[in-house]
Amino acid sequence: MPRLMMLLTIMALFVPRAGAEPSSAVAFDSATLRMLANADPVRGEELAQTGKCYKCHGDAGVSEDPDDINIAGMSSSYAYKQLTDYLDKKRDSRDMYKSVRKLDARQLADLAAWYATLEPAQPAPQRNRDPAILRLVFKGDPERMIKACASCHGRRGRGGQFDHPALAGQQREYLVLSLNEFKEGDRDNDIYARMRSVAETLTEEEIEGLAAYYATAVPEAAQ
Ligand code: HEC
Ligand code: HEC
Q: How close is the Cα of 96 to the center of ligand 1, in Å?
A: 5
Rounded to the nearest angstrom, the distance between the alpha carbon of 165 and the centre of ligand 2 is: 7
From atom 8 of ligand 2, which residue's Cα is the shortest distance away?
Answer: 195
What is the distance between the alpha carbons of residues 75 and 39, in angstroms, rounded to a whole number?
13
Using the mean position of ligand 2's atoms as its centre, give its distance from the Cα of residue 4 in Å.
45
Residue closest via CA to ligand 1's atom 34 equals 53
Cα distance between residue 123 and residue 219, in whole Å: 12
pLDDT at position 218 is 81
CA distance 28 to 124: 32
How many angstroms does the Cα of residue 167 sit away from the middle of ligand 1?
15
Nearest to 170 by CA among 211, 142, 126: 211
**Of 183, 186, 187, 190, the residue nearest 204 (C-alpha):** 183
Q: What is the pLDDT along the chain (223 residues), one digit of tens a residue?
A: 566 666 555 555 544 444 578 999 999 999 999 999 999 999 999 999 999 999 999 999 999 999 999 999 999 999 999 999 999 999 999 999 999 999 999 999 999 999 999 999 999 999 999 999 999 999 999 999 999 999 999 999 999 999 999 999 999 999 999 999 999 999 999 999 999 999 999 999 999 999 999 999 987 776 6
Query: Is 93 close to ligand 1, i.e. is its CB under 6 Å away?
Result: yes
Pocket test for ligand 1, best of 69, 77, 91 (most atoms within 8 A of CB): 69
Q: What is the pLDDT of residues 170-207, one digit of tens each?
A: 999 999 999 999 999 999 999 999 999 999 999 999 99
Instruction: Specify the residue with its C-alpha closest to ligand 1, atom 10.
Output: 96
Length of the chain: 223
* Ramachandran bin of 58, using left for φ above 0, alpha for ψ from -120 to 50, beta for the remaining angles: left
- Asked whether the beta carbons of 81 and 122 are under 8 A apart, the reply is no
Q: To test ligand 2's pocket by mutation, which of 153, 163, 180 has the most ligand atoms within 8 angstroms of CB? A: 153
Residue of minimum CA distance from atom 27 in ligand 2: 178
How far from the centroid of its chain's Cα atoms is residue 14's Cα? 30
- C-alpha dihedral, 185 to 196 to 68 to 155, nearest 10°: 180
Q: Is the CB of 164 under 6 A from ligand 1?
A: no
Q: Of the ligands numbered here, which is closest to the C-alpha atom of 175? A: 2
Q: How far apart are CA 45 and CA 112, in angstroms?
A: 10
CA angle 141, 145, 149 (to 5 degrees): 60
Distance (Å, rounded) from C-alpha 197 to C-alpha 192? 9
What pLDDT shows up at residue 12? 54
